[in-house]
Amino acid sequence: MSAGPATTAPALKMGGRRLPPWVATTALLLPAYGWLLIAIFLPLGAMFLFSFMTATPIGNKEIGYTLDQYKIFFTQPYMWQVASWTFQIAFATTLICALAGFLAALALARSGLGRSQWIFLILILLPFWTNGLVRIFSWTMVIREGGFLDAVVQFVLPEAGSVGFLYSRPAIVLGLVHGYLPYMVLTCYIAISTIDDAIVEAAESLGARWWTVLGRILIPMAAPGLIAGSVLIFVPVVGAFMEPRILGGPQGVTLGTVIEDSFTQGFNWPQGAALSFMLLAVVLAIFATFSGVLRRNAQW
């Protein structure tokens, strides 16, 4: 988000002659931007082109150009419902991550745990280092009817019925929160650790209660972290398809799974591409709407 290129680069001395600064700048930027061009814009551009085609451009089929793929929300009205579920899941996931992540980061950064805070940080990062599929499948074993969760609950309360909630939207949110929480903890942790202790101490010495400190100092000053974390989480979660598919079962129909189905099962790349770009447009629109707020709070 703040990956602005260096505006000046040290002029390199080569062969006893000083090269003009722009040569060095270009040379330094070329690997990164060349890679971006190849790895992002080429495939994205191809996909954008596909989204206007009538059929997947493989084999010797006659390919025409059409806008029909972008009309799916009108030809298939159930897509509105699918979109609504998707955004509900994404907002719930982001909100829960923001709450839990901020509190965890606050505890880690300000509790004075000393050296042991690194251990806690690593514990939070653990989900990052496990394969996503393994993580999700292990949840299916925990929250299915008669799974580990049920076993524990029934050990404590033998009369209790099943609390398993596999194949539901809460199960999807659970899996997504587990996978994406580390982003929020990390961004908030970095933001909170830069807050000068003296500010908090000054507030407290002037009689501010903890909620005032939290609401008027910590949250506003950690806002860049909260916002960056929310962006990092919301964008992939809106397009997620693995968690909805495995944890949601029949309930797991989201824009992500519809896009995946278009590419794999349906072999209808144009449809999948068009849906992806509509999703991208909605996400960009959301951030454009909030960009004023973002800039004011984050001062990027």
Partner 1 sequence: MKLSRRNTLQLMGGTALAASMLGPRRAFAATKITVLNWQGYGTDEKWALEAFTAATGIEVVHDYFNSEAEMITKLATNPGAYDVVLINSARIEQAAGQGLIQPVDFAKIPNSAGLAPKLKDHDNMQYEGETFGCAWVWGMNGLGVRDGKTDPDSYAALADPAWVGKVALFDDAVTAVGLGALATGQDMNDPKDLEAVKTFLQSIRPNLHNLWTSEDQWNKAFAANEFDLSIAWSGGVVRSFRNGGLPVHFVVPKEGAIGWLDGLAVPSTAPDVDAAYAFINYMIDPDFYFRWATEVGAPASANVDAMAKLPEDDLMKQVHKPDYIDTMSIMAALPDARRDAFNALWQEMKAYYAAK
Q: How far is the CB of 161 from partner 1 (least distance, A)?
A: 15
CB of 77 or CB of 112, closer to partner 1 = 77
Distance, CA of 236 to CA of 267 (rounded, Å): 23
Task: State the helix-helix crossing angle for 269-298 and 42-50, rounded to 10 degrees.
Answer: 130
Q: How far is the CB of 97 from partner 1 (least distance, A)?
A: 24
How many residues touch partner 1 under the rule CB under 8 A: the total is 35
Binding to partner 1 by residue 130, rule CB under 8 A?
A: no
CA atoms within 13 A on the CB side of 111: 14
Q: How far is the CB of 235 from partner 1 (least distance, A)?
A: 22
Q: How far is the CB of 100 from partner 1 (least distance, A)?
A: 27
Q: How far is the CB of 275 from partner 1 (least distance, A)?
A: 11
Nearest to 272 by CA among 261, 259, 281: 259
Amino acid present at 270:
P
Binding to partner 1 by residue 146, rule CB under 8 A?
A: yes
Q: How far is the CB of 250 from partner 1 (least distance, A)?
A: 4
CB of 145 or CB of 201, closer to partner 1 = 145
CB of 179 or CB of 225, closer to partner 1 = 179
Residues 6+ apart with CB under 8 A from 184: 97, 98, 100, 101, 102, 105, 226, 229, 230, 232, 233
CB of 217 or CB of 258, closer to partner 1 = 258
Q: How far is the CB of 50 from partner 1 (least distance, A)?
A: 15
Distance, CA of 147 to CA of 161 (rounded, Å): 12
Question: Which residues inside 178-207 make contact with partner 1, applying CB under 8 A?
Answer: none
Question: Which residues inside 245-274 make contact with partner 1, applying CB under 8 A?
Answer: 245, 248-253, 257-258, 261-262, 264-268
In terms of phi and psi (left: phi > 0; alpha: psi -120 to 50; beta: otherwise), the region of 59 is: left
Q: Per DSSP, what are the bridge partners of residue 143?
A: none
Nearest to 246 by CA among 159, 155, 143, 127: 143
Backbone angles phi, psi at 275, to 5 degrees: -60, -40
Cβ-based neighbour number of residue 172 at 10 Å = 27
Binding to partner 1 by residue 78, rule CB under 8 A?
A: yes
Question: Which residues inside 225-244 make contact with partner 1, applying CB under 8 A?
Answer: 242
Binding to partner 1 by residue 167, rule CB under 8 A?
A: yes
The correct pick among 76, 111, 194, 291 for binding partner 1 (CB under 8 A) is 76
Amino acid present at 244:
P
Write out the residues near partner 1 by the rule CB under 8 A: 55, 58-61, 76, 78-79, 81-82, 85, 133, 140, 144-147, 167, 242, 245, 248-253, 257-258, 261-262, 264-268
